[in-house]
Structure 1
Amino acid sequence: MQCLTSIVSYFQWRKVTVIYERSNTFSLDSDIISVLSDSLKSVDSTVEQHLAFPPINSLFDPEVAIEQEFRKLSTRRNRVFVVLQSSLQLATCVFQKAHQMGMLEKGFVWIISEEIASLLDSVDSSVIASMQGVIGYKTSFVDTSKLYKKFKIRFERSYLTKYPNDQGNPYPSLFALRAYDAVLAIGKAKKDSVGKLYSNMSNFVGLSGNISFRNGMIDQLPTFKIINVVGNGYRDLAFWSAEDGFSTKPPTQSGRKNDFVKLGPIYWPGSQQTVSRGFSSGVISQKPLRIGVPASGAFHPFVNVSFDEVHNKTFMTGFAVDVFRASLKYLPYDLPFTLIPFYGTYDELVHEIHRKRFDAAVGDINILEERYKWADFSQPYAKSEHVDDPEFGDSSLFQQVGTIFWFSFSLLLFAQKKPCSAAEFWIAVTR
């Protein structure tokens, strides 16, 4: 869960939708979601929704069931999906249906946990083709040792003998290696009584890595490999451990903690080159925001509305407009908008906003904090007005942006009401 949380935090996604297959123990499912939710809260993110499928062998028609649930998800704005707990069979159906329904196009993010990522070597090309752009994490182990190479040859021979017509790759997954190591560990302790079996297990180097015990428990945190599904398989992006975070090499080889590791370049769904914001504003409403721009202000360097008769086009420029456009880049989703010149007073513009002719005016920070809340522009922006919504990231950032907005807004307000004194101008600037 810490590794998954680190991935979500790195890309600054504020909401995720979790998809999982119910196990035989319902309480275990609840615990997994609870642990993930608590972990995400530490990085200002949250589980917006979790979609639980019953075991796939209990579904009469898995494809129909998955499609029905995915149609419900398509009405929501969140675009970050995590396949947290699933059999390979259900995960295969999930991605093939998601690919068919256009949910692996630009703007979408899919993350797979170790349960699926560690089995990618065993799936055929049709499954990989439906997972292009997916990222995930899997336990890292040394696959260059003589012990592993010898076991791999024996495993492949045995597998092909038993399943000669299988189209998948006959490679041993992590779970096969762990099963082998578990039997080996028990074999080392079989000379003791059953009651002391676990306490007498010795430390050794297994196929899945170094196996060590303390008080009858495995005493080693795993190192994960961050992967990106692309082409006919996947490529490695980085390593992650609880102690060092992301690193370019396994912690045992890195020698020191990396201060900053860039994950990339990444092949995202739909061949997107940039990181998806994980959010879509067009699902609920396709209409752009109507932003009123004061056209009669005296401070033209801040807001200036001009009309080009040759091209029959209105231009809106100035510091406040530039700040507004730049601030939209910090939103975790695309926000369509239209700038509309307003030739009355600013008080009249505020009145028109309350009448819902406009959604907001240049200079208002509230539209960045809550998409559909009507703002009261007659009151100065204060820290108490800030809404702490994890969807919008670091609150300090928006406090800084709010200060800039209020700076330009104050000048506009003074310009509309009356000429201001030097003291009033200084108060407006320093606020």
Structure 2
Amino acid sequence: MGPETSLEAKFLAVLGDKAKVPILSFTTSPSFSTEYPYFLQIAQDETTQFKGIATLIESYKWKDAILIYEDTETLPYLVHSLQEKDIHIAYKRAVSPLATDDQIIEELHKIMTMETTVVIVHMSPSLASHLFLHVKSLGLMREGYAWIITDKTMNFFHSMDSSVIGSMQGALGFKSHIPTSNELHNFTLRWRRKFHMEVMELNVLGLWAYDAIWALAMAVEKVKMPQIREDSTTLRLNLMDLANIRASKSGSILLSEILQTRFKGLSGEFQLMNGKKLISKAFEIVNVIGKGDRRVGFWTLMDGITKKMNLSVEKKYSSSHSGIEAIIWPGESTTTPKGWVLPMSDVFKTAIDALEYEVSYEFIPFVNANGQKAGNYNDLIYQVYLQKYDAVVGDITITRNRSLYVDFTLPFTDMGVGTLAPVVENKNMWIFLKPLDSGLWITSASFFIITGFVVWAIKHPINEEFQGSPAQQIGTALWFGFCTLVYAHREKLKSNLSRFVVIVWVFVVLILTSSYTATLTSPLTVHQIQLASKGNYIGYQTGSDMQGVIGRSNLNFEGLKQYSSLDEYADALSRGNNNGGVAAIIDEIPYIKLFLAKHPVGYAMIAPKPTTNGFAFAFRKGSPLVPEISRAIAKLREEGKLIMMENEWFKSQSSFMSQDSVTSPNIPNRLDFDSFGGLFLISGISSALALLIFLICLLHKKWHAHNLGNLSWGTFSVHHGVILRNH
């Protein structure tokens, strides 16, 4: 009991038939029990579900669909069901359970270049989990797409991780229908109490297994014990001599009793006929929404002929229809997808469509007979030179050597290379001092003091707040100067000269504090790689020309390391220079943007340099399409469509990749006196001018008072408090 995969089931079917021992299988592949009478299929036949999927697609008038699947044996049945409804398969691809993240992403990128947006996923829950996490991160779970998931995944939906469920929002799924009953409800409660698990619903496969165990136990009880006793040597299974296995004497009796067993189990009515479990051929159509799924339809196939599908939007019910809830599609949209979109990520198709005449083309992958890459980029370019291909479409870098063999169009991506480095958290307790260098700190402090004493000098003779003992006057001057930093000075300024000095200085303080704040929160946290120093290991992409680019850059480094995938990039950068990794990765800007789209946190691109010519399309020498495509690319760039395509291609799981992740080499790490010399000069001249005017006015007043005093003594006399004027 228990084989699930087709390979296991076929092997045990042969073994059970030879040993005459009943085999109870959970495989959902089309049954082959007529060939092997001892093989009993107790799970639902997938072909019923495939007919339902085809009917669902037909109900929305979608003409094309994409297939992504894991099990190749059932694919012909799914293809046949779609073809019966005149549904064209735009693309189909088998994904291995051992597929890496890069391989899955590569397949999803191919889907991004297609116009068809109806995708059928038929794979195990573990593989589907990896797939949909990347579907979400690449932006394919968005408005306009329709994802249809088979019961191979949906029957295990509630046991999936919450992050996976979140990545499937808006998808439609088929689930095996289990009728509700008091027995099932009570059993679920007992299960929760016994295993202390808060489960939404029990696994369908587990319910089928539970009923199968009961059927087997009931059959064994009906078989008389003397009839099933075997010689001890007969019961032994020699795994080294399977061809000479002895047949069980009681196996046929047990098989007969199992086939006659009928009862109402947790999964519904249990009855076997012709080696298959006779169960309701019904499926629930559910909509993944929130943290779970919501039933929106029902599919059943009766007697293989009568088809019935009740779907909440099949008849385009209005929102006012009682009891009907609209389907929530990807992107939280309630609008039914058209089934196709203009592929914004494919520059070549857009450029071709922009031509005034029609050009037919066919994409042919550059792979060998085993489906593996047939060579590097230079090999691919050479195939165009040999006229085996008319053109090459992809991430082809323009180089001088390649241009000897092919003609390139205008580049459609950024030119140059960048340095990819990890972002490190700076835990220095004195980090707040780093935005300004020591000279600027000293100069700023000096001007605070100078401004305070200039205002004190101007206000001291006439303002009591600036008077008192020498210590009080010094404290007041310092207090006033540094309070201008937060505009918190409380001393009143009645003199126009003091107001002039403070206004100019406050303007300088405003610029200084704004620049300090911006510099402190700027990309100073990015790990700046000193590529000119020794001891650094630098990584680059295998098969690329980066080794030559790095060599021509005259960088002084310890060594170079090659990596062939984005995951290897992340691993090397996370391990670091001293733990077998690298200090930085140097690659072309589009590849770095692709990496940052997949890893938006913890890494950044620094020091981009225009040392390469970007990506372009390669054609045969003299091809008339080169200038035409180049003009189309130039038009797309002028209209801003290229940047839209780039944002669509490189966007991360949360949003479009922020430009803040790209650090320009022109942004200073520290602010120095040279950056603010002009401001300090203006402030110094203003303070000196105000102080000079104050001194001139003060001397003028004293001189005027002195002359007035001399005049008074010569013309007036005071006697007993009475002023007598001489005539």
Give the TM-score taking structure 1 as reference length: 0.56
Task: Give the Cα–Cα distance (whole angstroms) in 2 for the partners of residues 236 and 34 of structure 1.
Answer: 28
Question: Is the aligned partner of 1:155 residue 2:181?
Answer: no
Q: Give the Å deviation of 1:182.
A: 1.2
Question: Is the aligned partner of 1:4 residue 2:58?
Answer: no
Q: 1:242 to 1:170 in 2, by over 3 A?
A: closer
C-alpha offsets along residues 186-224 of structure 1, whole Å, 9 cap, x if unaligned? 111114332233332311111111112223332234211
Q: Is the 8 A contact 1:199 1:215 kept in 2?
A: no
Task: Give the Cα–Cα distance (whole angstroms) in 2 for the partners of residues 267 and 215 of structure 1.
Answer: 41
Q: Give the Å deviation of 1:276.
A: 0.8
Q: 2:255 aligns with which of 198, 204, 212?
A: 198
Question: Is the aligned partner of 1:217 residue 2:276?
Answer: yes
Q: 2:139 aligns with which of 90, 93, 102?
A: 102
Q: 1:70 to 1:216 in 2, by over 3 A?
A: closer
Aligned twin of 1:273: 334
Q: Give the Å deviation of 1:20.
A: 1.6
Aligned twin of 1:13: 62
Q: Is the 8 A contact 1:37 1:46 kept in 2?
A: no
Task: Give the Cα–Cα distance (whole angstroms) in 1 for the partners of residues 149 and 280 of structure 2.
Answer: 20
C-alpha offsets along residues 270-320 of structure 1, whole Å, 9 cap, x if unaligned? 1222211211234532656979xxxxxxxxxxxxxxxxxxxxxxxxxxxxx
Q: 1:141 to 1:39 in 2, by over 3 A?
A: same
Q: Is the 8 A contact 2:145 2:339 kept in 1?
A: yes
Counterpart AA for 1:210? E
Aligned twin of 2:350: 285
Q: Give the Å deviation of 1:234.
A: 1.3
Alignment of 1:7-156 (within 5 A): 7-22=56-71, 29=72, 31-55=73-97, 58-59=98-99, 62-84=100-122, 86-143=123-180, 145-156=181-192
Equivalent position SS for 1:276? coil
Q: 1:285 to 1:181 in 2, by over 3 A?
A: same
Gapped runs of 5+ residues in structure 2?
1-49, 224-249, 318-323, 358-627, 629-727
Task: Give the Cα–Cα distance (whole angstroms) in 2 for the partners of residues 49 and 199 of structure 1.
Answer: 46
Q: 1:226 aligns with which of 241, 262, 285?
A: 285
Q: 1:264 to 1:185 in 2, by over 3 A?
A: same
Q: Is the 8 A contact 1:156 1:170 kept in 2?
A: no
Q: 1:157 to 1:50 in 2, by over 3 A?
A: farther
Aligned twin of 1:373: none
Q: 1:123 to 1:73 in 2, by over 3 A?
A: same
Q: 1:272 to 1:106 in 2, by over 3 A?
A: same
Q: Is the 8 A contact 1:247 1:261 kept in 2?
A: no
Equivalent position SS for 2:74? helix
Work out which of the two has the higher radius of gyration on C-alpha atoms and give 1 or 2: 2
Counterpart AA for 1:285? T
Aligned twin of 1:339: none
Gapped runs of 5+ residues in structure 1?
23-28, 162-167, 250-258, 292-355, 357-431
Q: Is the 8 A contact 1:14 1:46 kept in 2?
A: yes
Question: Is the aligned partner of 1:179 residue 2:209?
Answer: yes
Q: 1:267 to 1:120 in 2, by over 3 A?
A: same
Aligned twin of 1:322: none
Q: 1:288 to 1:206 in 2, by over 3 A?
A: farther
Q: 1:171 to 1:240 in 2, by over 3 A?
A: closer
RMSD (Å) for aligned C-alpha atoms: 2.7
Aligned twin of 2:300: 241
Task: Give the Cα–Cα distance (whole angstroms) in 2 for the partners of residues 120 and 10 of structure 1.
Answer: 25
Task: Give the Cα–Cα distance (whole angstroms) in 1 for the partners of residues 62 and 311 of structure 2.
Answer: 22
Equivalent position SS for 1:269? coil
Task: Give the Cα–Cα distance (whole angstroms) in 2 for the partners of residues 170 and 139 of structure 1.
Answer: 15
Q: Give the Å deviation of 1:52.
A: 1.2
Identity of aligned residues (%): 28
Task: Give the Cα–Cα distance (whole angstroms) in 2 for the partners of residues 6 and 118 of structure 1.
Answer: 20
Task: Give the Cα–Cα distance (whole angstroms) in 2 for the partners of residues 289 and 215 of structure 1.
Answer: 61
Q: Is the 8 A contact 1:226 1:239 kept in 2?
A: yes
Q: 1:71 to 1:216 in 2, by over 3 A?
A: closer
Q: Give the Å deviation of 1:261.
A: 8.3
Q: Is the 8 A contact 1:160 1:170 kept in 2?
A: no
Task: Give the Cα–Cα distance (whole angstroms) in 1 for the partners of residues 331 and 88 of structure 2.
Answer: 25
Q: Is the 8 A contact 1:113 1:138 kept in 2?
A: yes
Aligned twin of 1:336: none
Q: 1:248 to 1:276 in 2, by over 3 A?
A: closer
Aligned twin of 2:25: none
Equivalent position SS for 1:211? strand
Aligned twin of 2:644: none
Q: Give the Å deviation of 1:105.
A: 0.6
C-alpha offsets along residues 366-411 of structure 1, whole Å, 9 cap, x if unaligned? xxxxxxxxxxxxxxxxxxxxxxxxxxxxxxxxxxxxxxxxxxxxxx
Q: Give the Å deviation of 1:72.
A: 2.0
Counterpart AA for 1:224? F
Q: 1:198 to 1:289 in 2, by over 3 A?
A: farther
Counterpart AA for 1:265? A
Task: Give the Cα–Cα distance (whole angstroms) in 2 for the partners of residues 194 and 48 of structure 1.
Answer: 49
Q: Is the 8 A contact 2:173 2:286 kept in 1?
A: yes
Paired residues in the alignment total: 264
Task: Give the Cα–Cα distance (whole angstroms) in 1 for the partners of residues 146 and 131 of structure 2.
Answer: 14
Q: Is the 8 A contact 1:123 1:169 kept in 2?
A: no
Q: Is the 8 A contact 1:212 1:219 kept in 2?
A: yes
Q: Which moved more, 1:43-52 or 1:94-103?
A: 43-52
Task: Give the Cα–Cα distance (whole angstroms) in 2 for the partners of residues 44 and 223 of structure 1.
Answer: 23
Q: Give the Å deviation of 1:260.
A: 5.8
Counterpart AA for 1:82? I
Q: 1:107 to 1:14 in 2, by over 3 A?
A: same
Counterpart AA for 2:308? G
Q: Is the 8 A contact 2:268 2:279 kept in 1?
A: no
Q: Is the 8 A contact 1:248 1:261 kept in 2?
A: no
Q: 1:290 to 1:267 in 2, by over 3 A?
A: farther
Q: Is the 8 A contact 1:134 1:228 kept in 2?
A: yes
Q: Is the 8 A contact 2:297 2:309 kept in 1?
A: yes
